[in-house]
Structures are given as structure tokens and as C-alpha cells.
Amino acid sequence: MKIHELHYSNTNTYLIEGEKGKLLFDTGWAGTFPAFCKALGEIKIAVQDIDYILISHYHPDHMGIAQEIGDQGGVLLVPDVQEGFLHAVDHVFEKEKNRAFIPVRDDRIRRITIDEGTAVLNEIGIGGRIIHTPGHSEDSISLFLDGGDLFVGDLNPLYELEAHKGTEIEESWNKLLALKPRRVHYGHAKTAVLENLKLVVPALEEMWFRESLMADEETMAYNHSWGGTIPFPREQWAEWYDHWIVAHDNKRFYRYLKAESGYVGEVAYHYDTEYDGFVADVIIFSKFRGKGYGAKGLEMLCAAAKENGISVLYDDIAIDNTAIGLFLKQGFYEEYRTKEKIVLKKEL
């Protein structure tokens, strides 16, 4: 199963690939359909490939293009707790005279009970359940996947929970936390990784992980402008290891990113004379992407750099690399761009 966070509007929406089909969780404001299709194209998925659509709650910034997507073939799943809210915000689009908005067509939806959610998800090879989580709104639902990923829409973030003691919000979170989620995907905040991630100094004999990382075409697709995959045969391990880890001279920093299941990626920075500063690098193995590891890894890398006395980090990213959004969410900003790359900067 693979999770894609789509960046095309002010709402975080998620495309989940199951073994037999695809589920879209939430959409954006009416008028964002062309941008949505472009975002799908960047991950080589067509809108017609979507089997089911699930909306966290029927507010305009989450359901605005649900029917437009549904008209391309995806079926809108409507749990019983949401049925009375399908047209609750139609008047918002009418008032702003938004001609792009298409109201939900009641005759094309699939009505299900909350308890039927697991069986419906299994139809497309996704293990999980739908949970009623009122608090932000009465019709709010969350999606929990068996692998530990939790999608909560606009349910108030965990870091605000102390302010909502004794409310429906706390009750909803208590239900969700009992499931022991590993990652929480929000409608507007960045993904929160709840599992224990660590930065680990690898041993020389563990360079097999870096070799497989560099050789994976999907992982290294971001590097297509500079050649794609990078050979890293065993005979190069010792020299590379000595340069980056043993004799780093405080100019190089390299760590594996380790989750509870094992190594999931690498983070690094190095001094670059072109910028007269340190350049960051974060690579997450393709099969582990969409779980918030990239954002958390970058956050941990920035913290390590600051602790080591570095005040500024840069990164240069290919102009068409969608990872730009990850860096911007972590406080980087654009310094300048060329036809080939964008140079980002963050003051620590």
C-alpha cells in the first residue's frame, strides 16, 4: 500500500493505493480540479483510476471538487453519519458565485454504515476502518489504516488536545489513540510521526542499505536531472565511509533514519563552496514514502545541524521535484532559482 499527499490546494488531500484499487481522502475548494489533475499526473495516476472518494467532513475546502472527481468514475462513499450533511455548504459556493462547483449527486453516491467501512475498504485491498470522530463538526470521520496511518481531516491536532479536555474532541482522540497510530495525517497541519524515529550512525557493514537506496529507480527519480540512480558497489564503501563518517572534519554529517521497522532513509549535510554554507540532503526509500518520514527526518537533521553550531542550511532541488513542498513546510524559503534548480535556505 502506498500513500501520496497531494499538494494542489490549501487542504492536504491523500491518494491511497491499495492492492486492488485507489481511495482519495478529501479534496480541495471548488475550482481546483485542474490543479488536482496536474498533481495526480506528477505521480503518474489518472483521475479515472480513483475507485472511491471519502470526505472527512462536508466543509467547502474538503468537498469542493468531490463530485467533479466522481463524474470521472470514482464513487463517493457516504457513511451514515454524514448523509444529512452532503449539501450543508452548497450555499457557500452559491453565495460566492463559484461556477466551478458541482453539488453532490445523491443518486451516484454509495451509502454505507460506519461498521461497513472495513469491508468496503477491503474491496480495493486496503486494510482499515472508518471512525466517527465528531468535534470539529458533527459529520467528521477519520480513516485508520492497519499499517498505523491515521487521517483525521480537521480534527484539532494532538498538540492542542490539552485545551480541549472534557470535550467531544478529546473523546474522539481517545478513540483514535486507542488504535495506537504511528502517523497522523492532518487536513492542514503537517503529518505527525508518533513512532520513535532515530538518527543512527551506520556501521561499515550496513552500507548495503545505502547501496540499495541509491540503486532504486523510484527512490532516485528525483535525481533524474543529474543521472538518476547512483552506483555504490561494495568496493567503494570503505573510502566513502572514511570520508563521510570517520574523517568528517565537521564538514560532513551523515545518518540513517531508523523507524521501528528498520532503516527507511538517510539524512545528511555537507559544506559546499558554491554557497559557502552547508547543503542538506534527505532521501526516503520509495516504499516508505507518504508516512511523514521525510518531514520528520528533515526536522531532525535541522536540529542536529543547529546543535553542531550551524546557523544556515541550504538545499538545491530540481525545478520539477515535488519535494520542494516538504522543505517549504519545514521553514525553508526560496533564495533563487535557475532553469534547472531552486535553491532553498533555512536559518536555524
Domains of the chain: 2-193 (3.60.15.10), 198-347 (3.40.630.30)
Apex CA 246: angle with CA 218 and CA 234, to 5°? 45
Residue 72 in contact with residue 48, Cβ under 8 Å? yes
List helix spans (H) across the chain.
33-42, 60-63, 66-70, 90-95, 117-122, 168-177, 207-215, 234-241, 293-307, 324-329
pLDDT of residue 133: 98
pLDDT at 294 over 80: yes
Q: How confident is the model at residue 8 (pLDDT cuts 50, 70, 90)?
A: very high
Question: From the CB of residue 149, how many other CB atoms can be counted at a distance below 10 Å?
Answer: 22
pLDDT of residue 51: 98
pLDDT at 290 over 80: no
pLDDT of residue 321: 82
pLDDT higher at 191 or 59: 59
φ/ψ (deg, to 5) at 67: -75, -35
The alpha carbon of 308 is separated from its chain's Cα centroid by a whole number of angstroms, namely 28
User: Nearest CA to 23 among 8, 7, 2?
Assistant: 2
Q: Which of 193-207, 213-227, 314-328 has the highest mean pLDDT?
A: 193-207
Q: What pTM did the predictor assign?
A: 0.71
pLDDT of residue 250: 95
| DSSP one-letter code for 191 | P
What's the chain's average pLDDT? 95
pLDDT of residue 73: 94
Residues in the chain: 348
pLDDT of residue 324: 86
